[in-house]
Each structure stands twice: as structure tokens, then as C-alpha cells.
Amino acid sequence: MTDKYWSCHSAEKEWGDGIRGLSLSAARYALMRLEEGPPHTKNWRPQLLVLVSTDAEQNVEQPRLLSLTNQLKAGKGLTIVGTALGGTYLANYEQAQRADQALRKLMETEKVKGFCQVTVSSNLRDATSHLLQASGLGGLKHNAVLVSWPRNWKQGDEHQTWRNFIGTL
């Protein structure tokens, strides 16, 4: 009778994943500790923000830049791979999602461990500026930026590629 009462009257509770909760608490604690003081020179690690461009189909134009990133970091530090899109967020939501998926897939292919971020703003220069300012969290912010030279910089003012590049720098 007791077993029957227990199975019928015990409420189903959704407690969530306990390990994930502990991981989140540990991550928050570690981020707060990073904010306590300036980093010691012996603890310095390359924390790279890698700026990549995407084409109309949201394919990354400079995929080998991530291979260089891995070589520079030597398995240490932080990597944030980001791309900037022009336009409004509401109009370009699906494009931003495709770009995010392309970045994640490329990071997996190149075996880059880190995070990706896509920003959308009215123009590419502003979107890149937002990406530079908003990437990272707490003490895990980039301390170096990697950006590749534009491919078609010699070919006229078609998309003002070189002007955007200089503006980014």
C-alpha cells in the first residue's frame, strides 16, 4: 500500500541537471576571481578575437585564419571568432543564424576551442566596432585581434572593401 501511495501521489519535479548547475556556479566564481586584480605576467595567455568575413551564402572567406590562430595560441588562452553583418537585426536574423552555424562548423573543422559571435548593425564598420567592444565576459576578454587582409582590395570601390578594412584598423 505504501509503494502504491508513493507512486501515485509523489509529484514529478524537474530539478535540472545538477552537474550543469555546479559548472555554472564554478564558472561564475572563476570569472569573479579574474576581476579581483591585474593579471600577473606569468599568467598571461593569448586571448584572440578573430575577425572573419562571410560571403552571401554565409561561408567564411578566410577559413585558414583559424589554423593560424591555433598555431599562435599553442592550445592555451581564449579564442573568440566573430563576424559582422550590415543591416537590421530583425531583417537579417536568419542570415545571422546561418553565419553563426558556419562559424561553429569551421571552428569544429579546424579544431578551434572557443566561442563565436555574430553582430549585426546598420553598416559593417559599426557592426565590427560593436563586435570589438562587446566580445568576451569579465576577465575573459580578448587582448589581441586577428584580421585578414581583404581579398579584392585592389579592385575598385565596388564595395569599399579597403575603406572598411582601414576603418576597422
Any idea of the CA torsion for 103, 28, 93, 68, to the nearest 10 degrees?
A: -20
pLDDT tens digits, 112-153:
889 999 999 998 888 888 999 999 888 788 888 988 877 666
**Tens digit of pLDDT for each residue in 48-78?**
999 988 877 777 778 888 888 888 887 788 8
- What is the topology classification, in CATH, of domain 44-168? Rossmann fold (3.40.50)
**Phi, psi torsion values for 11, nearest 5 degrees:** -80, 140
Give the residue from 54, 73, 165, 71 showing the smallest Cα distance to 116: 54
Predicted confidence at residue 118, as pLDDT, reads: 94
The pLDDT score that the predictor gives to residue 96 is: 92
pLDDT single digits (tens) 79-101: 999 999 989 999 999 999 999 99
Contact 145, 135 (CB under 8 A): no
Task: Give the whole-number percent of the chain exceeding pLDDT 70.
Answer: 83
Domain ranges of the chain: 44-168
